[in-house]
């Protein structure tokens, strides 16, 4: 089973890296983009024998302990087949 944890900055938190990317895209001639916010994606392989509920609990634990700074970041967990 595979999972993806997507971590993004909370609304209202300044994103200097996103602003830098936005500026770079503009200087490269990419038009029509109003705003860029950057984040992180973690693709994780779930150990065999772990049920979906157990996997979700383990992923939540991993996100809250290491993958995301929950003071300024949100995270979303997606579990696939």
- Domains of the chain (ranges; CATH) run 2-79 (3.30.1280.10)
Instruction: List CB contacts of 67: < 8 A, sequence separation 6 or more.
Output: 5, 7, 40, 42, 75
Task: For residues 68-75, give the mean pLDDT.
Answer: 98
End-to-end CA distance of the chain: 5
**pLDDT at position 9:** 97
**pLDDT at position 64:** 97
**pLDDT at position 45:** 97
| Average per-residue pLDDT for the chain | 96
Q: Over the stretch 2-40, which tens digit does the pLDDT of each residue have? A: 999 999 999 999 999 999 999 999 999 999 998 999 999
């Amino acid at each position: 089973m595979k999972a993806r944890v997507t971590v993004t900055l909370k609304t209202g938190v300044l994103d200097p890296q996103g602003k830098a990317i936005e500026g770079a895209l503009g200087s490269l001639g990419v038009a029509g983009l109003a705003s860029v916010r950057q984040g992180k994606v973690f693709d994780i392989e779930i150990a065999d024998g772990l049920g979906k509920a157990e996997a979700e609990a383990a992923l939540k634990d991993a996100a809250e302990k290491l993958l995301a700074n929950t003071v300024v970041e949100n995270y979303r967990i997606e579990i696939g087949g």
